Structure 1
Amino acid sequence: MATKDLSGIPRTRVPDASLSLLRDGYVFISSTCDRLQTDVFRTRLMLKRAFCVRGAGAAELFYGSGLFSRKDAMPPTVVHLLQDYGSVQMLDGHAHAERKRLFLALLEADGIRDFTATLAEVWEARAARIAAGERIELYTELNRMLTEAALRWLGLPATQNQVRLRSQELSAMVDHAGTTGPHNAWARMIRRRSERWAAQVIALIRSGDLTPRPGRPADLIARHTEEGRPLSTEVAAVELLNVVRPIVANARFVVFAALALWQHPQWRQEFARGDLSRLEPFVQEVRRFYPFFPLIGGRSVRPFTWRGYAFPEQSWVLLDLYGTNHDPRSWSEPGSFRPERFVDREPTAYDLVPQGGGPYETGHRCPGERLTIATVETMVRLLSLADYTVPAQDLTYTMRAMPALPRSGLIVSGGSR
C-alpha cells in the first residue's frame, strides 16, 4: 500500500504553537484537530517538530504497538518533577518489565486494601474537625492526609513534621509540573530535597537503622534487585518518590469527585444510603470528565505508518489524553457528567486514558491506576457519609492551568447536608 508524504498532514497556522498550547491548555490538541478536521496534525513546540494525535485509535498506536519510548519525549522540567530519569516510565523493553514487576508487587489487591484502610483511619480525625464546624480547604487537607496515609502504608515514620514537609514537597511537584520559570525552578529545588530524604530512607533501611515491617513497600523497594543487583540508592529513591507522589496527586481526583457530589447531590444521597453498586461507575466518570494530565509524549523507536503516512524514526508524537477522554466517537455527550454510562460499559484499554492507556501489566499504563480508583472510591464513600456543607466560593477551574483544580481548592465546613 502506497504511503503519503508527511507534508500532507494538516499543520497549524503558526510556525511554533507553544504559546497556543499555553493559551488553550487541555483543549489545545482537540480544538486544533476539530478546526483542521483531522486526528493528526503537525506543528512545532519549543521549536521542535511534533505530531499531535487524539482518539482511541491514536492511543492504541501510542500504547499498543511498542513503537514509542518515553526518552526525550517530554521537557526536562516536567520529567524531573514527575517521573525523573532512571524511573520505570523512562525504561523500555526488558528493563521496563523488570522494574514494573516491582510496582505490580507493591500494588496487589492486599496492598491496595491496606492503603485504603489506612486512609480511612486518617480521614476520621479530619471528619470530626469538620463536623465540629471547622472550615478546611479540602485540597490542602487531602495532600496532608494522603501523605500521612502513604508514609504509614510504606512503613515509614509519619510524624507531624514529616507529614508537613513531605506534603509540601510532593504537592509542589504536581502543582508546578506544567509551569515554567521561577515557579518550576522552585518546585525542582523542592524535588531535590525530597530526593535527599528518599535516598536517606533507602540507606537507613539497607543499613538496618530503619526497619519497616518486611513486605512493606519501602522495604520491597530498598531490597528490590534486577539481574542480581540492588537498585542504586539514587534510583531506589526516585522509585520511592514515584510511589508516594502519585498517591498525593490523587488529591486532585478526590477534589473533583467531591465537587461532583456537591453539584450532583443525587449521587451523594445514593452512596450515603449504603447503595454502592454504582460507586465505581461514578469514579470512572470523575476520571473521564474532569481534567487531570492533558497529554503525553513519546518518540518512535523505528519508522512506522499510520493513517497512510510514513513517519520516520524518532518522530515526536503527543497523545491528547484529555481529548481522547472527551471524544464523541467513544463517549456519548462527552461534555455531560453521566456516571451511568459506565454501568453496562467497561472502558477499553485505549478510550479511557486519564493515566495513560494500553495493557496494565506489561505496558506504560500507570501502575498505580487501580490504587487511584480505590483511593477515590474510598474518599467518595467517606465524603458521602460526612456531615458537611460547601459554602459560597469560586468552584470554577481554568483549562489553562495544567494540572487543573477548582480555584478555591474546595472549602468545606460542618453543617447541614
Structure 2
Amino acid sequence: MDHSRRPPLADSSLALLAQGYTWLPGRLRRTTAPLVRTRLMGQHAVALHGPEAVRFFYDEQHIERGTALPGPVLSTLFGHGAVHTLDGQLHRVRKGMFLSLLTGPEAVGGLVDGVCAEWDETVASWPGRRVVLFDEASRVLTRGVCRWAGIPLHDPDAVARDMVAMVDGFATAGPRHWRARRARARSEAWLAGLVDDVRAGSATAPQGSVLDGVARHRDADGRLLDPRTAAVELLNVVRPTVAVCWFLTYAGHALRRPDVRERLRGDDAAYAVAFARELRRFYPFAPFVGGRAVTDLDWHGEPIPAGTMVLLDVYGQNHDPAHFDDPYAFQPERFAGRPPARDELIPQGGGDPATGHRCPGEDITVALLAALGPRLARLEYEVPEQDLRIPLTRMPARVRSGFVLEDVRVPLPAGLAAR
C-alpha cells in the first residue's frame, strides 16, 4: 500500500474532549490494524497498545519526550524545563537526582511515616464534622510531603489547593486550566525564592532532604539548576504526592463494598498492597502518554514517520481482558501474591524507572495507599446521599462529590479499647 496517498485524517481533538478516557480504547477496538492513525491538535498521531508497545514506546531510540509535551501541559502539570522534557544523558542525570531522593526503603518509609502521622492527627478532628475526603486528603498529603521534603509551609491549605489545581486543570480548557496556570506561577515563584534563600544561607534545608538535594543538584553540564527550574523539580515531588488524594478518594468509593472494607481492616499487609495496585488499575487517572518518533519507525508493518506524535494507551491497557480477567470488576485479590509485570500495569506510565520516563515515585504512591487505605477502612462513618459518579468524560476524572463522610467515629487503639 502507498502510505503517502492516505486520505487526510480528521482531527480528533474535539472527540477526545467529548469522550475522555473512552476515546482511545474505543478507537483501538474498532480497528484490526496494529495501531490507530489520527490527528490531534492538527498533528499526525498514531496510538499503540499493549506490553510490547510499552517496551517499544520507552526505547529512547524510538520515542523522545522533549518536544512532545504540549505547552499547556508544561504550563500546568509538569513545568517548563522539567525532567519530563529531557532525553538522553540530560534526562539520565536529572532522573538520577529523583531516584536518589525518592527510591529505597528509607526514602519511601520516611515519607509514608510522615504522611500517616499527619493523617492520624487530622482524623482525630473529624468526629462531629462533615468531611470531604478529597479535600482533607489533599491537605494531609501536602503537610506530610512538605515536612518530609524540608519545605516550610506558611499556608498549607493554600499550597494544597494549588497542587490540586495543577493536576485538575492540565487536560482541559476554560476555568480549570487557567486556575492551574495561576497555581503553577504562584508555586514556582514561592519555591524559586526558597531555593535562592537556601543557596544564600538565609534559609536552611535539612541535610539529605529533597529541598537540599534539588538546591545542590548539578545537571549534566555541571551547573546548578536555575532557581525556577529547581522550583519546577521540587513541584515534581510535591505535586504528584498530593495527587494521591485522587486515589484516596477512590479508596473511599471502593470501600463501599463491605467485603473489601472488612478484609482491608485486618493486618494483611499483602492485601493492602494488592488493594493499592487495584485502585491504580481500576480507577481512571492518566488516559494515555505521548511522545514523538525520533526517526522513521515500523510497528508490525505499519510505518511511523519521524516526528509523528505517538500515543501509548494507558487506561485501555489497564482494562484489557487479555491481561486482566474481568477488568471492569474491582478485585484486589488479582494482585495478591502476584506483583504485576513491569509493563503490564501502567497507571503512571511504563518502562524502567531507572532509565526511562516512568515515574520514580510509583513505589511511594503504592506505599501511601497501602498505609492509608487500611486506616480509612478502620474508621466508622456514614456516607450520606451525594453524587458518587466518576464521569469518564472529565480528565482527570474524580468522584464528583469528593466523597463526603458524616458521623465519623475514630476507633480507640486496641490497648485502650480493651480496658
TM-score bracket relative to the smaller structure: over 0.9
Please name the residue that 2:32 is paired with: 37
Please say if residues 136 and 411 of structure 1, whose CA atoms lie closer than 8 Å, have aligned partners that are also in contact: yes
Q: Say whether residues 1:184 and 2:177 are aligned partners.
A: yes
User: Which letter does structure 2 place at the counterpart of 1:78?
Assistant: V
Q: Say whether residues 1:117 and 2:110 are aligned partners.
A: no
Among 393, 399, 406, which residue is 1:406 paired with?
399
Q: Say whether residues 1:256 and 2:240 are aligned partners.
A: no
Please name the residue that 2:212 is paired with: 219
Q: Say whether residues 1:384 and 2:377 are aligned partners.
A: yes
What is the deviation of 1:395?
Answer: 0.8
* CA-to-aligned-CA distance 1:142-182 (integer Å, 9 cap, x gap): 111111111111112234x2x02211111100111111134
Q: Say whether residues 1:59 and 2:54 are aligned partners.
A: yes
Pair 415,149 (structure 1): closer, same or farther in 2 beyond 3 Å: closer
Please say if residues 29 and 54 of structure 1, whose CA atoms lie closer than 8 Å, have aligned partners that are also in contact: no
Please name the residue that 1:310 is paired with: 303
User: Matched residue of 1:318: which SS?
Assistant: strand
User: Matched residue of 1:412: which SS?
Assistant: strand
Q: Distance in 2 between matches of 1:414 and 1:248?
A: 26
Please say if residues 248 and 373 of structure 2, whose CA atoms lie closer than 8 Å, have aligned partners that are also in contact: yes
Q: Distance in 2 between matches of 1:39 and 1:217?
A: 43
More moved, 36-45 vs 90-99: 36-45
Among 203, 219, 234, which residue is 2:228 paired with?
234
Pairing 1:247-326 to 2, within 5 Å after superposition? 247-262=241-256, 264-326=257-319
* CA-to-aligned-CA distance 1:61-103 (integer Å, 9 cap, x gap): 1114641111232321112211122111111111111011110
Among 79, 96, 110, which residue is 1:101 paired with?
96
User: Which segments of 5 or more consecutive residues in structure 1 lack a partner in the other structure?
Assistant: none
More moved, 294-303 vs 57-66: 57-66
More moved, 225-234 vs 333-342: 225-234
Structure 1 runs of 4+ aligned residues shifted over 6 Å read none
What is the deviation of 1:306?
Answer: 0.8
What is the deviation of 1:201?
Answer: 1.0
More moved, 109-118 vs 382-391: 382-391
User: Matched residue of 1:144: which SS?
Assistant: helix
Please name the residue that 1:73 is paired with: 68
User: Which letter does structure 2 place at the counterpart of 1:109?
Assistant: P
Q: Say whether residues 1:363 and 2:359 are aligned partners.
A: no
User: Which segments of 5 or more consecutive residues in structure 2 lack a partner in the other structure?
Assistant: 412-419
User: Which letter does structure 2 place at the counterpart of 1:385?
Assistant: R
Q: Distance in 1 between matches of 2:380 and 2:331?
A: 25
Please say if residues 326 and 334 of structure 1, whose CA atoms lie closer than 8 Å, have aligned partners that are also in contact: yes
Q: Distance in 1 between matches of 2:241 and 2:80?
A: 19
Pair 33,265 (structure 1): closer, same or farther in 2 beyond 3 Å: same
Q: Distance in 2 between matches of 1:388 and 1:103?
A: 38
User: Which letter does structure 2 place at the counterpart of 1:240?
Assistant: L
Please say if residues 270 and 276 of structure 1, whose CA atoms lie closer than 8 Å, have aligned partners that are also in contact: no
Q: Distance in 1 between matches of 2:408 and 2:223?
A: 56
More moved, 58-67 vs 208-217: 58-67
Please name the residue that 2:23 is paired with: 28
Pair 229,65 (structure 1): closer, same or farther in 2 beyond 3 Å: closer
Please name the residue that 2:416 is paired with: none
Q: Distance in 2 between matches of 1:83 and 1:341?
A: 32
Please say if residues 46 and 309 of structure 2, whose CA atoms lie closer than 8 Å, have aligned partners that are also in contact: yes
Pair 368,5 (structure 1): closer, same or farther in 2 beyond 3 Å: farther
Pair 7,40 (structure 1): closer, same or farther in 2 beyond 3 Å: farther
How does the TM-score come out when normalised to structure 2?
A: 0.93
What is the deviation of 1:356?
Answer: 0.4
User: Matched residue of 1:365: which SS?
Assistant: coil
Please name the residue that 2:417 is paired with: none
Q: Using the aligned pairs only, state the percent identity.
A: 39
Computed over aligned residues only, the root mean square deviation of the Cα atoms, in angstroms, reads 1.9
What is the deviation of 1:7?
Answer: 6.5
* CA-to-aligned-CA distance 1:86-142 (integer Å, 9 cap, x gap): 111111111111011110111132111111111111112221122x22111110111
User: Which letter does structure 2 place at the counterpart of 1:24?
Assistant: Q
Pairing 1:77-226 to 2, within 5 Å after superposition? 77-107=72-102, 108-130=104-126, 132-159=127-154, 161=155, 163-226=156-219
Please say if residues 5 and 310 of structure 1, whose CA atoms lie closer than 8 Å, have aligned partners that are also in contact: no
Q: Distance in 2 between matches of 1:173 and 1:358?
A: 25
Q: Distance in 2 between matches of 1:305 and 1:240?
A: 38
User: Which letter does structure 2 place at the counterpart of 1:119?
Assistant: V
User: Which letter does structure 2 place at the counterpart of 1:389?
Assistant: E
User: Matched residue of 1:158: which SS?
Assistant: coil
What is the deviation of 1:279?
Answer: 1.2
Q: Distance in 2 between matches of 1:273 and 1:295?
A: 35
User: Which letter does structure 2 place at the counterpart of 1:303?
Assistant: D
User: Matched residue of 1:44: which SS?
Assistant: strand
User: Which letter does structure 2 place at the counterpart of 1:179?
Assistant: T
Please say if residues 66 and 87 of structure 2, whose CA atoms lie closer than 8 Å, have aligned partners that are also in contact: no
* CA-to-aligned-CA distance 1:258-313 (integer Å, 9 cap, x gap): 21122x22222122232333111111111001001111110011111111122221
What is the deviation of 1:342?
Answer: 1.1
More moved, 324-333 vs 344-353: 344-353
Q: Distance in 1 between matches of 2:10 and 2:263?
A: 52
User: Matched residue of 2:233: which SS?
Assistant: helix
Please say if residues 254 and 380 of structure 1, whose CA atoms lie closer than 8 Å, have aligned partners that are also in contact: yes
Among 387, 397, 416, which residue is 2:390 paired with?
397
Q: Distance in 2 between matches of 1:272 and 1:147?
A: 25
